Amino acid sequence: MEWIVAIVIGVMTASGVYLVLRARTFPVVLGLTLLSYAVNVFLFTMGRLQVGQAAIISPDAHAYTDPLPQALVLTAIVIAFGMTAFLIVLALKARSELGNDHVDGLSYVAEEQTVKSRQMAGDR
Amino acid sequence: MSSVWPVLPVLLPLIGGIVLLFCRLGGLPLQRSVSLLFTAGLIIITLKTLFVATTAGHQVYLLGNWPAPYGIVLVLDKLSALMVLLTAVLSIFALLYAIAQDTDKQGEDFHSLFQIQLFGLNGAFLTGDLFNLFVFFEVLLLASYGLLLHGGGRLRTRGGLQYVVINLIASSLFLFAVGTLYGVLGTLNIADLADKMATVSADDQGIVAAAALLLLVVFGIKAAIFPLYLWLPAAYANTSAAVAALFAIMTKLGLYAIIRVHGTLFSEQAGPLADLHIDLLLWLGMLTLMLAVFGVFAARGLKEQAAFLILASVATLLVGIGINNSAALSASLYYLVHSTLIGAAMFLLADLVSQGRGSYADRLRSAPAMSRAILLGSLFLISAIAIAGVPPLSGFFGKVLILDSAIGHPFQGWIFITVLLASLLMMIALARSGSILFYQISDEEENDGAALNAKAAAVMMALLMLSPVLVVTAGPVTMLTEQIAEQVSGSQAYIDAVLGQTAVTGK
């Protein structure tokens, strides 16, 4: 089972990193989402993988699974969810204000410079 | 008995933020006075916490009355007390400036976000738990996203988007590092982690080192260390001046986290992993310093220049931490206080200049004369002297103290050359922008800038006046920073205080 989980985390992280490095905002948002999924599974496995064990003290339990990573993952999921929602809204705002969906807004700057140089040529 | 002092600076802005949400019903004047009241209250409380921290040693507060390492703790020591006091002092100036310039009129909930930002900052300075540090980072980041984008505008949105994306990546890395440390050591309490560091088996040392370096990357993004600083100039130069001034403390938070987490975990007790990060910090600091100075030269506007000056101050501090002795740490803390306040003043001044020049804004090109140019020019001269480290102002003292502590270090030649060359280049660049802004006046067109906002200028001057105050009080302040450095380097006392704290028994 460790093998499968490790491969899943690795593939998700690699895909996430690849998407984060893309130039447009939508792949970047998806990449960040994948990264946060990967990190959640990773945190979960850090309590070691157990099947069918109790997380809370009970007299019948023979062994326990670590409850702390579950609490950490819960917090991390909530935070990542809120951040993703915020980022999507911000990406939409940037799309409407900059006129394109490039993360660094490059073409906007280039456009502005061509307009300026045209104006300057016109002044002369 | 658990002390109540670590929790008060965290609680007050949180309550303030919630109360301010309801103050919207009473309009802007009510919001302003309540916000000022809470921030002034924070100064009083943080002064008292500093007093408690210097007289009574470590103060530990057990959240939910669970003793460490099972519960989350807030720890007040001299270093965190200094940082929360600095935050409070900086925030009142930023707030007054925002009010004087009507920054808070550009959108709703400025004051609420401002208090939540302080809540996140103070929480991050006071927490003693690694995962809780992550949570407070997220709190202050969310508030900072709101503040950074406050008012809108194309360039602000672009800088803000990059800032948000890079910080979200940093958060993911933070969680990976935290998870790895938990997987190996089974705890997230900083004191408990440090306690277990010596017992790490030889097989696991590589993993712990990897996690620690990953954490260094995360804090490096916050502190804007080479090669992770590229987001800073765009974000800081394009936001409103009051917010940029408040954010002068945010890069210092990254440095604080390095001192607190890496300094405690990898102190002398850590066995083979001791001082894992120190050499890296020194060299990265020197590299960042040179690149920051090139940035100061290449900047196209005064705000961008101020952002690169913040970067240079972070880099100088990194060199100070990288020298790794008690005197250097003490000197760095003095320089930290100075550079935070004066860096913030520089942003406020850039904003005043930009308003006075109208359509030319803060671009470094000759423009028609602005109103009250002599006053603004003199203020620029004083700020430039303070920030470049020329006598007689506080930047000079900070740099002298740092260089003094570097004597005898194996790389002292490199440190001296880098810091002195950077100061010289910074001075030249600032002289150049000063002469462009204030001497090279073009008479071809009329000045279309606004008249000087007297209230805003007064706030800026008051903030700048803290530099001479820091010189006059250099004796007591360095005494305090020496005490802090001494306390920080003895991390065993921190561990004992946190792990020895007993829960309240309810009788």
Length of chain B: 507
Q: Looking at residue A120, what is its pLDDT?
A: 60
User: What whole-number distance in Å separates Cα of residue B155 and Cα of residue B423?
Assistant: 30
Domain boundaries of chain B, sorted by first residue: 1-276, 283-472
Of A39, A87, A104, the CB nearest to B175: A39
Q: What pLDDT digit, counting tens, does each position of B409-438 carry?
A: 888 899 999 999 999 999 999 999 999 888
The mean pLDDT value of chain B amounts to 89
Q: Encoding tokens for residue B322?
A: 């990288």
What is the interface pTM, i.e. ipTM, of the complex?
Answer: 0.86
The residues facing B59 across adjacent strands are B76
C-alpha dist (Å) from residue B365 to B239, B385, B432, B452 = 21, 22, 11, 20
Tokens of B348: 């406020």
pLDDT attached to residue B90 = 95
Distance between CA atoms of residues B293 and B299, nearest Å: 10
The answer to whether B179 contacts A42, with C-beta atoms less than 8 Å apart, is yes
DSSP class of B363: B
Reported pTM: 0.91
Integer CA distances (angstroms), B260 to A81, B69, B127, B130, in order: 29, 17, 10, 10
Domain count for chain A: 1
Probe site for chain B from A13, A18, A32 (most B CB atoms < 10 A):
A32
Rg (CA), chain A: 23
A43 CB neighbours in chain B (<8 A) are 175, 178-179, 182
pLDDT in tens, B262-317: 988 888 777 777 788 888 899 999 999 999 999 999 988 899 999 999 999 999 99
Helix (H, G, I), strand (E, B) or coil at A24: strand
For residue B160, the chain A residues in CB contact (below 8 A) are 90
Q: Report which secondary-structure segment, H or E, holds B112.
A: helix B110-126
Domain that holds residue A107: 2-123
- The CATH number of whichever domain residue A76 belongs to comes to 1.10.287
CA distance readout (Å), A84 to B133, B154, B314: 20, 21, 30
Token pair 């456009």: residue: A111
Q: By percentage, how much of chain B surpasses pLDDT 70?
A: 99
Residues of B in CB contact (< 8 Å) with A are: 131, 135, 138, 142, 145, 149, 152-154, 157-158, 160-162, 164-165, 168-169, 171-172, 175-176, 178-180, 182-183
Question: Which residues of chain A fall short of a pLDDT of 70?
Answer: 105-124
Residue of A nearest to B186 (CA): A47
* Residue A41 burial (10 A CB sphere; 0-12, 13-18, 19+): middle
CA B34 to chain centre: 25
- CB-CB neighbours of B106 under 10 Å: 14
**pLDDT tens for each residue of B41-76:** 999 999 999 999 988 888 888 888 888 788 889 999
Largest CA distance in chain B: 81
Whether residues A93 and B157 touch (CB distance < 8 A) is answered with: yes
- Please give the pLDDT value at position A53: 81
Closest Cα in chain A, distance from residue B56 (Å) = 33
For B237-262, how does the pLDDT look when each residue is reduced to its tens digit (9 = 90+)? 888 999 999 999 999 999 999 999 99
d(CA B478, CA B328): 11
Name the residue among B375, B376, B354 with its Cα closest to residue B365: B354
pLDDT of residue A35: 94
In contact, B325 and B405? CB cutoff 8 Å: yes
Residue A114's pLDDT is what? 60
Q: How confident is the model at residue B181 (pLDDT cuts 50, 70, 90)?
A: very high
